[in-house]
Amino acid sequence: MLKLYNYHRSAYGRIVVIILTEKALNCEYEEIDPFAGNLSSQYLKLHPFKRVPVLKHNDLVLYETRAITEYLEEQFPNPTLMPTDIVGRARVRQIVAMIDNYGYLPLVWQVYVESIEKQSTEEGPDSEILQEGLLNSARFLGAIEELASGGKFLVGNAYSLADAHLIPMIDCFTVTKQGRAMLPDYPKLSQWWSSIRKRDSTVTSRPKY
């Protein structure tokens, strides 16, 4: 039995939903809002750092998205979401690590949140954070552009964990006018996004922004 604890607007939670969809796995779902401030003691036993997602599979409890997605890949290997060659697998892991370390913060928090989420708040967007985010996003996108295979998928000729991990970040980024204007500067990523955004798992997992 699989159960996913997730917040419907979580970029990282969406990655897990995408992979569950790609693998056609049935999964019970429980909505958890990590920003609500009233998380139950029961949930804190599952995730002591008060975040999402958490995956429960029988007696196993996993948090940290990368651990969850690699577990799902190994536990449910069909269809495979990792290349068969060692170089391809290394490239997927490299891209996923780059997303975590250099992509998520600027694309989602510094650009999307500042441009969209804070528009309706009393404090409003912080232009310095936004500009820093755009600069850092350009650096990240340039690095991914160099590594991308070109075409429908980031690594090789098949869908992989790299695609699933990048989709929510690019989707948030291109909700903003700045992100939409910037992405065409990266031809391989633009071609990838124009195709991957129409994939069923991308469409059905997409929250309302």
For residue 82, the Cα-to-chain-centroid distance in whole angstroms is 16
Asked if pLDDT for residue 58 goes beyond 80, the answer is: yes
- The count of domains in the chain is 2
Task: Based on the fold, state whether residues 90 and 7 are members of the same structural domain.
Answer: no
Which DSSP symbol is given to 36?
A: S
Q: What's the token pair of residue 139?
A: 């650096």
Scan for tokens 């409003």, then name that residue.
124
Scan for tokens 């969809």, then name that residue.
21
Mean pLDDT of 125-132: 94
Q: Is residue 209 part of a domain?
A: no
- Other C-beta atoms closer than 10 Å to the C-beta of 140 total 21
Task: Based on the fold, state whether residues 93 and 196 are members of the same structural domain.
Answer: yes
**Cis bond upstream, residue 168 (ω within 30):** no
Q: At what angle do helices 127-147 and 187-196 cross, to 10 degrees?
A: 90
Q: Is residue 149 part of a domain?
A: yes
pLDDT at position 146: 98
pLDDT at position 18: 98
Instruction: Work out the mean pLDDT of the chain and round it to a whole number.
Output: 96
Task: List, as own/partner pairs, every contact residues 84-91 make where C-beta atoms lie below 8 angstroms and the sequence separation is at least 24, other chains included.
Answer: 88/155, 88/156, 88/160, 91/147, 91/155, 91/162
- Cα angle 59, 63, 69; round to 5: 95
pLDDT category at 121 given cuts 50, 70, 90 is confident
Which DSSP symbol is given to 176?
A: S
Scan for tokens 């694309």, then name that residue.
107
Asked if pLDDT for residue 8 goes beyond 80, the answer is: yes
Q: Is residue 145 part of a domain?
A: yes
Mean pLDDT of 151-175: 98
Phi, psi for residue 118 in degrees, rounded to 5: -85, -5
pLDDT at position 209: 79
Q: Which residue among 75, 104, 124 closes a domain?
A: 75
Rounded Cα–Cα distance for residues 18 and 165 (Å): 9
User: pLDDT tens for residues 138-158?
Assistant: 999 999 999 999 999 999 999
pLDDT at position 117: 84
For residue 10, the Cα-to-chain-centroid distance in whole angstroms is 8
CATH assignment of the domain containing 164? 1.20.1050.10
Q: Is residue 21 part of a domain?
A: yes
Return the closest-CA partner of residue 143 out of 158, 154, 129, 130: 154
Radius of gyration of the chain (CA): 17
Domain with 68, as residue range(s), is: 2-75
User: pLDDT tens for residues 64-117?
Assistant: 999 999 999 999 999 999 999 999 999 999 999 999 999 999 999 999 999 998
Q: How many residues appear in the chain?
A: 209
